[in-house]
Amino acid sequence: MILVNKILSNRYEIIEKIGAGGMAIVYKAKDLLLNRIVTIKVLREQFTADEEFVRRFRREAQSAASLSHTNIVSIYDVGKDEETEYIVMEYVEGQNLKEIIRNYAPLSTEQTVELGIQIAEAIHHAHEHQIIHRDIKPHNILVTEDGRIKVTDFGIARAVTAATVTHTGDIVGSVHYLSPEQARGVQTNEQSDVYSLGIILYELLTGKVPYDGETPIAIALKHLQELPDPPSKFNPRVSLALENVVMRAIAKSPDQRYSSAQELLADLRKVQSGLPVQGVENLEEHDLETTRIHRSLSEDINSNLGEGMEQEIARPRRKKTGKKPQKPWLWG
C-alpha cells in the first residue's frame, strides 16, 4: 500500500512515511483544509478486514481524543477512505525520549525530575479520565526543541471501566517497561503506568534499564523475581530523595508502590524543591517475599508473552545529516 502523495478523504495529503509498527504505519501529512502539518496513523492493510483490529484501532482514537493536555499528543480526526482506516494527530517536531537517553544519559537529577514531572502530569490527566496508557516507554514520549514532553501512542489504552485483563498472547507493551502485573496477565490499573514511568526515570539516571535479558520472557521474569540495583550504584550523583522516588515507583508489589501518578508527581515536586522524600520501609523484604511467591510463574509468563509483541512505532525525527545531535532546550 503506497500512500505517499495520496490525498485521504479529499483533505489529508500524505507527504512521507515517518514510522511503522506492528499494527500501523505513520505518515507526515498536510491538512489541506486547515493548512497545517499533521501526523496520520494508518492501520496496516492486512488488518483492515479484521474486525477486532479495527475496533482496537478506533478505540485508540476514541480514548486519546477525550484527552486535552499540553503534555499529550492531540488527536484531531479519525476516518476511513475506502479500505484505509486512519487517525489524524498533532505533528510534533523533535526527538523521542529513547533517542535522548541514547545520546545524553545519564542525566542529572534536575533534568530527570523536569522530564518526570511532565510525563507524570500527562499520565495523571489520562487517569483522571479513566484511561490507562498501558504502554508507557521512552519510544512513546516525544521531546520538543524547547523541552516540552508529549506522550503519544495510546494504541492499547483502555477505559478503566472496560475489561483490563491481558489475554494470552496479547501483551503488547514493551517488556523492559512492563509492570509485574502486566507480565502475569492479570488486571492492570493506574499503578502499572506508575511502574513504567519509574523504569524510565531509572533509565534516565543510569543510561540503562534495571532488567535486561536475551528474550522477552527472561526480562519479564526479572521484573517478577529480581531486585534492581539502586540507581546510585551506576550514577553516584543521584540524590537520595530521587532514588527513593524511583525505588518506590518500581516496587514489585502494588502495596509498596505509589498508589497514583498524582502521588508520584507530588514527590517529584518535593525533589525539585530540594525537600527530602522518605523511602519505602522494608522494601527489600517485601519484594523478596513477592519474588518467592512468583518463582513458579515462568510457564504462565511464557504463555502470556507471545512472539507477536507489537513493535515500537518510530517517531518523527530529523533526517540524519552526519552531524552530532543538537541538544534540545533542556540540555542547553
- CA 177, CA 171: separation in Å to the nearest integer? 12
- 194-213 as b/e: b if 16+ CB within 10 A: bbbbbbbbbbbbbebbbbee
- CA 167, CA 253: separation in Å to the nearest integer? 21
Instruction: Note the residue count of the chain.
Output: 332
What Cα–Cα distance (Å) separates residue 44 from each residue in 7, 145, 188, 286? Answer: 17, 31, 27, 44
Name the active-site residue from 77, 81, 135, 229.
Answer: 135
- CA 178, CA 155: separation in Å to the nearest integer? 15
Whether residue 95 contacts residue 329, with contact meaning beta carbons closer than 8 Å, is answered with: no
Tell me 17's DSSP state: E
User: Does residue 135 carry a catalytic annotation?
Assistant: yes
Which residues are identified as catalytic?
135
